[in-house]
Amino acid sequence: MSEPVPPVDEGQMVGRTLQVAIRIGTVLILTVWCFQIVGPFLVPIIWGIIIAVATQPGFQALERLTGGTRSLAATLYVLIALASLVLPSLLFADTLIAGIRVLATGIAEGTLKLPVVPASIAAWPVIGDDIAEFWHLAQTNFKEALNMVGPELGAIARWLVGIVGASALGLLQFILAIFIAVGLLTNAASGERVVGDLARRLAGANGAAYAALAVQTIRSVARGIVGVALIQSIMAGLGFLAVGQAGAGLLALICLVLAVLQVGPFLVVVPVAIYQFTVLDTPVAILFGAWCFLVLIIDNILKPILLGRGVDLPMLVVFIGAIGGLLSYGILGLFVGPVALALGYTLVTAWLREQPGAAPSTTRQVR
């Protein structure tokens, strides 16, 4: 005969429910409050974490070279990072800001001077005559041509001016992210313990495997996609500067966006190379053409090396991450977006494919 179930004390039940509600509410309030405080620094913090994870092997090599002196290794790390990333950015930013300012001012004031219309444009089918006619009008009477497309060009001018401010903010965030990264690297041991504890809390026995998969994903995408895009755009920009190409900084920025989107800088590099062949001496034009060819193929050389042991990641995820990051967070979001979305996609996919008692695989390839 079963024992009778003791009656439920409604007062105790209400009290326990109230305690749980207060605890959950307190945690939520603290979480939201902390997020609001950290919010302005969220993107640099995320980018700093990505840089730290991606470059940890290099930082460890610096530590070995300095005999285990962590402070000296940190100093060298910051100097190398600033020299390799920020200095080219400053160099290109100068031409970017100058070029955008001239273009925006010329459009706004109607003083922009165009070169003579090439005779070959009129021979283009369907649109050739219209383009040549409008080009000739803009060359001889720019203000009248501007009145024909004034609202559209006004919007473009405002957009270009906005890019200047966004680029300056992105550069400051980039510098802040480097210092955040070096702070994380110098305290890597405690950080790994925190990440390991958090992973075990969230994923149980497979927490360590998921943490390893996350690290591998960040390194693969940050090096093989974002890193290669940075190298391509810097090489392209240096080539543009070497031949005196107008708007070299703006063109390098467009190359960077196209490279991160996995479209490639072909759409910028090839037209610039063709134009420079018409204005440069033949030997210099040949050298510039060879440099442009190297820029276009360098990703085919670097990606197999840097993505050698990647994750099962469709390029559509990278494309959406780059576009979404750029629209949401500006220039720095272009780098953070692909890595963050790739990390989320990889972890969710591994969780869905996980078999009972098995750890997630960490040896799949990027597609």
Position 186 scores a pLDDT of 85
Phi-psi region of 3 (alpha: psi -120 to 50; beta: other; left: phi over 0): beta
Position 155 scores a pLDDT of 65
**Residues 103-158: pLDDT tens digits?**
666 655 555 566 666 666 666 666 667 777 766 666 666 666 666 655 665 666 66
Place of tokens 């092997």: 57
CA distance 203 to 40: 30
pLDDT bin (cut points 50, 70, 90) of residue 243 is: confident
Average confidence (pLDDT) over 342-357 = 77
> Does the pLDDT at position 365 exceed 60?
no
Instruction: Indicate the SS3 state at residue 246.
Output: coil
CA distance 337 to 319: 9
Q: What are phi and psi of 141, to 5 degrees?
A: -145, 80
Phi-psi region of 76 (alpha: psi -120 to 50; beta: other; left: phi over 0): alpha
For residues 236 and 293, the answer to whether their CB atoms sit within 8 Å is no
Residues with Cβ within 8 Å of 271's Cβ and at least 6 positions away in sequence, in order, are none
Residue 128: CB atoms within 10 A of its CB come to 13
CA distance 25 to 21: 6
For residue 350, give both structure tokens.
């591994």
Q: What are phi and psi of 116, to 5 degrees?
A: -60, 135
| Dihedral angle over CA of 142, 147, 152, 154, nearest 10 | 70
Position 11 scores a pLDDT of 64
User: Which has the minimum average pLDDT: 86-95, 113-122, 213-222, 312-321?
Assistant: 113-122
**Residues 283-341: pLDDT tens digits?**
888 999 999 999 999 888 887 777 655 556 777 888 888 888 878 777 778 888 888 88
**C-alpha closest to that of 185 among 329, 38, 81:** 81
Place of tokens 């190379």: 273
Average confidence (pLDDT) over 26-51 = 85
pTM: 0.67
User: Which burial class, exposed, middle or buried, applies to 6 when counting CB atoms under 10 A from its CB (0-12, 13-18, 19+)?
Assistant: exposed
Average confidence (pLDDT) over 266-276 = 88
Position 293 scores a pLDDT of 92
CA distance 343 to 220: 10
- For residues 70 and 204, the model is more confident at 70
Write the DSSP assignment of 106-140 as a string of letters.
Answer: HHHHT----PPPPGGGGGSTTTHHHHHHHHHHHHH
C-alpha 181 chain-centroid distance:
16
For all residues of the chain together, what is the average pLDDT? 76
pLDDT bin (cut points 50, 70, 90) of residue 1 is: very low
CA distance 67 to 70: 9
Above pLDDT 70, what percent of the chain? 68
